[in-house]
Chain A
């Protein structure tokens, strides 16, 4: 197009030609901007249609009984009690593993890692793991945790595999948060005699906390919705009992039997209900989807809010 303009500009003697040419280029420019805006609206309309469809189909189905009933053969008496309890327990395990491990790995890569081949290998692995399909993690958990380590198809294995899955998200968030801390904070800490770990613990980690928190929340919201890896480890789709309670009235007051209990989670319950032919079960699926959406979108809203506040604070 450039050469076209140049040759036209030199050969065409009349000003009229140039005006036409510029006018056409401007028109194309405006059309393209309109096209971008149009695609943006199409994408947003798709998102809204998806959310609206789910709410229309399922919102009226949600009541107290739906949240406190076990799944049943009769759709109108089915509920998601075992599913949401399972989701909470699995998320607890995931958070306990992914957050400390992700922070530690991110901190190492950003603050400690020397520039050598070993660091390169670790970095390439973190990037690659973020791109491995979630169902492959499911196969890893099935072959490695369930059979090789003999942990069974339990809450613990589900929590572990989801932790591995969201680890790259927490690592990347930690690295970005740590990287944005001004160098003078480190120098100030070293200047008053702190060693490396003291600097990290007392200065860097507290300053990076909002960024890390955002990453952890986004990661956990992904983990809540993950279905494929949990199906692969063989989570049951029909569970009409709860895992043993984590707290008990007598010594030692906590009980870890729930870690080994069979379980189901909300996305699996939803998948199970979608797969049934009866339309009444589809309504249950939509209602489960609404609960899931409220949880994941709510968590993301919190993350966006933290990021927004953080930006304002740095702006000051």
Chain B
């Protein structure tokens, strides 16, 4: 390796070059890591600067309280409420399914299942995340909706119920994985103590494991909610594209994400108000998911530090 083979010490020039490469690579690696900060900044910059024009035309108050969203009509109305309620309906149905199923499954995998079962099931659950979301959309629209229509009266071809259920299954593995991690992080000594008192596994789960892993499990719910709120294709395909302020999940309604998809499919002139609406809607979505992500992040960090 040394450029001067006759001496034990490599030459000064060689050492200088090595030091330069070492420092240079350190800088390259740092810049790659710092890219994430730049990306976050760019997201905030784009969303804020593009929706700035929108909010000079439409007041924030109108945006938040008007009950109609008709930006491309002759008489445009710009109320985010119909999109927001549809988003929360679908995410709410998803989380209502994913929380009980996910928690029971996480408890089963963490406390009951033999190691062999756990190690087989976890990669299989990961396959849920590998399936393209557009395939879930196909399944929701063309298989599940006709099936559900046979026993749910009044279910329209586009509705919030079926995509909500599919979303629930989609976020299930995510919730299972995070809450199972949290449960397994509870020290074995606590578990053994409970067993020594004569508790069954179920009693241990409810009296020791779930209280001990509480912040981690809550984090899993919040991060799952954030996923459901931001999911796009299932809703764009199976929930319809008609903004609809409704309290009935059997009806179809456009969510924030499917509105953005719908507008992007058409030809949006850069700088027009219609172009800016998708960034305003995107900003609302970003803030909503950011809220869930940040609370989830700190709760998750807390359970990691607790043990």
Q: Which residues on B sit within 8 Å (CB–CB) of A224? A: 132
Interface residue? A1 (CB, 8 A): yes
Tell whether A53 pairs with B143 under 8 Å between CB atoms, given A108-B32, A143-B46, A267-B134.
yes
Tell whether A228 pairs with B233 under 8 Å between CB atoms, given A40-B108, A133-B289, A196-B26.
yes
B42 touches A300 (CB 8 A): no
Within 8 A of A (CB), among B19-52: 19, 21-22, 25-26, 28-30, 32-37, 39-40, 42-43, 45-47, 49-50
Q: Which residues on B sit within 8 Å (CB–CB) of A275? A: 237
Give how many B residues have a beta carbon under 8 Å from the other chain's beta carbons.
94
B32 touches A39 (CB 8 A): no
B32 touches A133 (CB 8 A): no
Nearest neighbor of B44 in chain A, beta-carbon distance: A140
Interface residue? B247 (CB, 8 A): no
Q: Report Cα–Cα, A284/B237, bound state, in Å.
A: 16
A132 touches B286 (CB 8 A): yes
Q: Which residues on A sit within 8 Å (CB–CB) of B25? A: 197, 200
Interface residue? A138 (CB, 8 A): yes
A133 touches B29 (CB 8 A): no
Q: Report Cα–Cα, A222/B229, bound state, in Å.
A: 19
Interface residue stretch chosen among A61-69, A123-131, A256-264: A123-131
Q: Which residues on B sit within 8 Å (CB–CB) of A108? A: 29-30, 32-33
Interface residue? A181 (CB, 8 A): no
Nearest chain B CB to A59 CB, angstrom units: 14
Q: Which residues on A sit within 8 Å (CB–CB) of B40? A: 125, 128-129
Interface residue? B104 (CB, 8 A): yes
Tell whether A29 pairs with B223 under 8 Å between CB atoms, given A108-B32, A112-B29, A125-B37.
no
Q: Report Cα–Cα, A304/B236, bound state, in Å.
A: 31
Q: Report Cα–Cα, A174/B227, bound state, in Å.
A: 24
Cross-chain pairs A/B with CB under 8 angstroms, 18 sampled: A5-B198, A32-B201, A33-B112, A39-B105, A39-B108, A43-B169, A43-B172, A132-B290, A139-B278, A139-B282, A198-B22, A218-B130, A228-B232, A233-B264, A234-B268, A271-B134, A289-B134, A289-B135
Residues of B within 8 A of A (CB): 18-19, 21-22, 25-26, 28-30, 32-37, 39-40, 42-43, 45-47, 49-50, 101, 104-105, 107-109, 112-113, 121, 123-139, 141-143, 169, 172, 197-203, 205-207, 223, 226-227, 229-233, 236-237, 257, 260-261, 264-265, 268, 270, 278-279, 282, 285-286, 289-290, 292-294, 296-297
Residues of A within 8 A of B (CB): 1-2, 5, 25-26, 28-29, 32-33, 35-37, 39-40, 42-44, 46-47, 49-50, 53-54, 57, 100-101, 104-105, 107-109, 112-113, 121-122, 124-129, 131-140, 142-144, 147-148, 164, 167-168, 171, 195-198, 200, 218, 221-222, 224-228, 231-234, 237, 267, 270-271, 274-275, 282, 285-286, 289, 292-293, 296-297, 299-300, 304
Interface pairs A-B: 3 shortest CB-CB: A36-B108, A133-B230, A225-B132
